[in-house]
A and B are shown apart, each in its own frame.
Chain A
């Protein structure tokens, strides 16, 4: 923005084509991504059921949600626990597996990339876990644990309070080597090879030193992008929980912020309240992402 103050007409004349090129996407983005956020914030201060006009209630929804809704607190607790485990672990898995895969010769590398990436694009193939964890002795896990004598009778994995969260975490980790994983693999492959050679001349002795001193600093942009992807996806778990452990899950053990939202939005039609939940999740996501970006920026 070179000139101090240009009139609207000059700006338009000079950059007309640029604005026109952005416009088609821009309009759809405004209407279907940005506007919904604003509408959600507005509705979160109202009582609204789709039929009558929204009724302004101030902060009532927020108070009700935080003070009088113990199930929401369970949902927050579950979501944060889930995200604190799957976020960082999946992030490190993406990075470490990408790093290891990158050390393989060309063809094994392509195969292993597919092996790790496949679950994340397999649609609802994760439902096979329901089969593997089936509560009778035909479930693969039960059958082998019984056969090996680890357990004496079939465990009802998906409807036992203690097992629900660990199972969701494992399946989510299985699903989580997606876009970030590809980003990291790509980052490794486009790494400047002369840097690595220079490093070995300078006295870098093994792959760990190489990783720490050379690779990590030069892959910072990809690392930050990957962090955003993993944080957002680990905070937005819901369909997985509904499909695997049912809705509502036993003792709300698999209840997350988004399944709570689903409950009030799609089942009870208390849309003002549902939007309050959405707004809180929106700010949790934004907050976590911004904090992690700040931290990563400081590193190295």
Chain B
């Protein structure tokens, strides 16, 4: 009985702190979040456990979420398959590293550089540019894929890393998020730096960027997630320039005999972006708070 009284007491004390909250409402909230949370998590958990299932359990009726005899065989099989590739696996990893690295750095650096004057100054053309950027958010790059291909072949960059890096860098989401965050940097600080003899570039690098750390960290993550998942598509056709996610997606669609291996692959591809997000969650949340469109 003492325990019940304690819980009750604790709950009401909390409730006092949280105005306008009823027990019933809290219960509904937990139920709804629980239900949809399971729906959201289930397929990913299924991938996780399938990666550790021996062949016999993958084809068990009825299939189970849990593993009875976990094994690393799928990962060993994956290793064997990888050894048979004509292009060494390390080459694919290297391609992903270059594409993700250069693409992310480019997006963050060039986007921030352009965001700063647009956020803090008014000059001929600044309004127009800001408007174009909002409109550019309103369509996806998939509608411009064909002309992009033509432009890139005219420039001679088809089948190079640049073919996937440059269109990503030219996207406006990064600039847009940076600009919204930079608007909050107090003008006094910029003025003070100017009086100290800082150039515009110096102000950007030594004052604005350190203050906007959460914003560019967020951008690093969003850009990383995008570049990590790119398969190169029609823009990169040489096997030795293809990124990791291309090869791995080939493995995933390899048919039923490879179900276990496919799960292992999906799991490996999943760990990296999720890990990166967990590591930096608080920065991301802080930045997104400023991402609104002013009415």
Contact = CB atoms under 8 A, between A and B. Distances in A.
A and B part of one assembly: yes
Interface of A: 1, 6, 11, 14-15, 17-19, 21-22, 24-26, 28-29, 31-37, 39-40, 43, 93, 97, 100-101, 103-104, 110, 112-119, 121-129, 131-132, 137-140, 143-144, 146-147, 174, 177, 179, 182-183, 185-187, 189-190, 196-197, 199-200, 204-207, 209-210, 219-225, 228-229, 231-233, 235-236, 238, 243, 258, 261, 265-266, 271, 274-275, 278-279, 281-282, 285-286, 289-290, 293, 296-297
A242 to B, nearest CB: 11
Interface residues of B, number: 100
B166 A225 contact: no
A265 B145 contact: yes
Contacts of A37: 139, 143-144, 147
Contacts of A139: 63
Interface in B220-261: 222, 225, 228-229, 234, 245, 249, 252-253, 259
Interface string B251-295: 011000001001100100110011001100100111111111111
B20 A204 contact: yes
Q: Is the interface of B mostly helix, strand, loop or mixed?
A: helix
B166 to A, nearest CB: 5
A36 to B, nearest CB: 4
Contact of B25 (A128, A199, A206): A206
Interface of B: 18-22, 25-26, 29, 32-33, 36-37, 39-41, 43-44, 46-47, 50, 58-63, 110-111, 113-114, 116-118, 121-124, 126, 129, 132, 135-148, 150-151, 166-167, 169-173, 175, 199-201, 204, 222, 225, 228-229, 234, 245, 249, 252-253, 259, 262-263, 266, 269-270, 273-274, 277-278, 281, 284-295
Nearest to B221: A121
Contact of B144 (A221, A243, A278): A278
Contact of B137 (A1, A199, A228): A228
A286 B266 contact: no
A179 B170 contact: no
Contact of B37 (A43, A116, A123): A116
A188 B173 CA distance: 21
Contacts of B171: 33
Contacts of A219: 292
Given A21-B114, A22-B114, A232-B140, A183 B266 contact: no
B292 A113 contact: no
Contact of A278 (B110, B132, B143, B167): B143
